[in-house]
């Protein structure tokens, strides 16, 4: 049984003032595996105060010093990769291959940020002004459970690269991963207070951070509902706010697509991270004339999609993170059936032979229309919808017929055609014939998928404020 009863403030592991207990589960077995002592508003205030004290000195460090720190952090997290992998599998249930990617990603984002900093000009001349990009202040970083370690290190990497200090509020459901990452970052030996990690509830610790007058910047990843709430409360002190929210990403299968490639890519896009991904391609847009062929290929390919024990190498889809998320996915599968969609694969309940664990049957619906709930709302599980279109104009219209705009996929044998379609999609990222992430490219949403961008230069600038100094230029 794990016992996690410390948080990290001002360079030290400390016992929180808060004492609310929280149970950690293994989602593959539903067994309680540990107990967490949650921090509260008092702890959040201590963390903000530590970050504020550290900011005075840290904000004036040279980029070179921060590059060295980021590289030390990278090495320290990389050194704990196997521990992190174990925590990700045990506490989150990611299948081993995905868990390895997540564990590696958690260190890579730190090195990526160091690389961005190497090439970034903090001072530039504009007209007669000298424009200096200045660290914005104390950053509050609020992260969800679907990639805990990578969100903590990714947001910290950008904040610290910019010269900001930070208070992180991770998901309490990820306390094992958070502990491994915190121990690793502690070993990197940064000045006290530069980063603080306070595990507690969103409505206590999260709310305290997002309303604190000494927090200048917020970066939040999570649900659209909570994102809107945070933006409203942050308005009181005009905090700069980056929101990375939900999605309902279209996969546009153009009529010239090679289904040998398109079908596997469609399943990868839809089922990545066990379907618990904001960027999951959950609306599959197929030309009406090729629907029967596409459906037959999907049914055949679904035979290799295995939901099960994340430690089993054959597993491609792990359990949902919690009973709450399992219930949510079941509810949506029920709504899909009730509203008249046709179950092509999967359906309600657990996979055959599975007695315990928050596993769902990977599900593909066909005959889905744009007004159905399953075509409009983010399900956050392995549930995909096939919609049909008559011509490319209609495909683009359906793709954009959503309040979201995080990511889109275009599959075609003709890259020029795909690029033309991509130019008309309202989404922060469009992936043509690929599902591969590029850390140099900006990431973030149009419309209700969020505000602002993460990664690369745009991600760095989200933690900087331009200051123009006039009258000093020669």
By CB under 6 A, name the binding residues for ligand NAP.
142-146, 169, 171-172, 201-203, 206-207, 210, 221-223, 226, 229-230, 244-246, 278, 378, 380
Residue 364, beta-bridge partner list: 345, 384
Cα–Cα dist 451/465, whole Å: 16
Residue nearest to ligand NAP (CB): 202
Comparing CB distances to ligand NAP, the nearer of 197 and 344 is 197
Residue of 90, 91, 108, 244 marked active site: 244
CB of 211 to ligand NAP, least distance (A): 8
CB of 324 to ligand NAP, least distance (A): 8
Place of tokens 């404020």: 465
Q: How far is CA 4 from the centre of its chain?
A: 24
Residue 4, beta-bridge partner list: 36
CB of 52 to ligand NAP, least distance (A): 19
Contact 58, 41 (CB under 8 A): no
Cα–Cα dist 89/100, whole Å: 9
Contacts of 288 (CB under 8 A, 6+ apart): 388, 389, 390
CB of 171 to ligand NAP, least distance (A): 4
Pairing relationship of beta strands 2-4 and 31-38 according to DSSP bridges: parallel
Q: How far is CA 394 from the centre of its chain?
A: 30
Cα–Cα dist 270/262, whole Å: 12
Pairing relationship of beta strands 129-135 and 138-142 according to DSSP bridges: unpaired
Q: Residue 373 is inside which H or E element, if any?
A: helix 373-376
Comparing CB distances to ligand NAP, the nearer of 135 and 445 is 445
CB of 226 to ligand NAP, least distance (A): 4
Angle between helix axes 392-400 and 415-422 (nearest 10 degrees) is 40
**Is 244 a residue of the active site?**
yes
* Dihedrals phi, psi of 81, to nearest 5 degrees: -60, -40
Comparing CB distances to ligand NAP, the nearer of 18 and 163 is 18
Residue 253, beta-bridge partner list: 411
What amino acid positions are annotated as catalytic residues?
244
């Amino acid at each position: 049984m794990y016992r996690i009863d410390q948080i990290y403030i001002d360079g030290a592991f400390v016992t929180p003032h808060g004492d609310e207990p929280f149970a950690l589960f293994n989602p593959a077995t539903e067994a309680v595996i540990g107990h967490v002592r949650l921090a509260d508003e008092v702890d959040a205030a201590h963390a903000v105060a530590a970050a504020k004290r550290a900011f005075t000195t840290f904000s004036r460090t040279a980029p070179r010093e921060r590059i060295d720190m980021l590289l030390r952090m990278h090495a320290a997290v990389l050194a704990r990769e196997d521990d992190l992998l174990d925590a990700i599998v045990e506490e989150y249930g990611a299948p081993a291959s995905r868990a390895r990617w997540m564990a590696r990603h958690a260190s890579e984002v730190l090195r990526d940020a160091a690389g961005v900093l190497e090439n970034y000009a903090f001072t530039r001349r504009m007209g007669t002004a000298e424009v200096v990009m200045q660290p914005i202040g104390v950053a509050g970083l609020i992260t969800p459970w679907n990639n805990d370690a990578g969100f903590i290190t990714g947001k910290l990497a950008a904040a610290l690269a910019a010269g900001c200090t930070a208070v992180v509020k991770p998901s309490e459901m990820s306390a094992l991963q958070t502990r491994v990452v915190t121990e690793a970052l502690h070993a990197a030996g940064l000045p006290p207070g530069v980063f603080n990690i306070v595990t507690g509830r969103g409505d206590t610790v999260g709310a305290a951070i997002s309303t604190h007058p000494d927090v200048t910047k917020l970066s939040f990843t999570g649900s659209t509902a909570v994102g809107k709430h945070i933006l409203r409360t942050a308005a009181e002190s005009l905090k700069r706010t980056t929101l990375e929210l939900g999605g309902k990403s279209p996969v546009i299968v153009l009529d010239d697509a090679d289904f040998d490639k398109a079908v596997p890519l469609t399943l990868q896009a839809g089922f990545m991270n066990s379907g618990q991904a904001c960027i999951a391609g959950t609306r599959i847009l197929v030309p009406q004339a090729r629907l029967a062929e596409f459906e037959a290929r999907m049914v055949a390919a679904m035979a290799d999609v295995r939901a099960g024990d994340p430690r089993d190498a054959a597993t491609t889809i792990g359990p949902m993170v919690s009973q709450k998320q399992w219930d949510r996915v079941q509810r949506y599968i029920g709504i899909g059936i009730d509203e008249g969609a046709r179950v092509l694969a999967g359906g309600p309940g657990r996979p055959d032979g599975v007695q315990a664990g928050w596993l769902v049957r990977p599900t593909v619906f066909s005959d889905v229309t744009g007004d159905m709930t399953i075509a409009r709302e983010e399900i956050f599980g392995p549930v995909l919808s096939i919609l049909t279109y008559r011509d490319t104009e209609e495909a683009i219209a359906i793709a954009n017929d959503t309040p979201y705009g995080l990511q889109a996929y275009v599959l075609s044998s003709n890259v020029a055609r795909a690029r033309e379609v991509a130019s008309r999609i309202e989404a922060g990222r469009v992936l043509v014939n690929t599902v591969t992430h590029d850390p140099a490219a900006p990431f973030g949403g149009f419309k209700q998928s969020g505000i602002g961008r993460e990664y690369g230069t745009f991600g760095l600038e989200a933690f900087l404020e331009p200051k123009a100094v006039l009258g000093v230029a020669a």
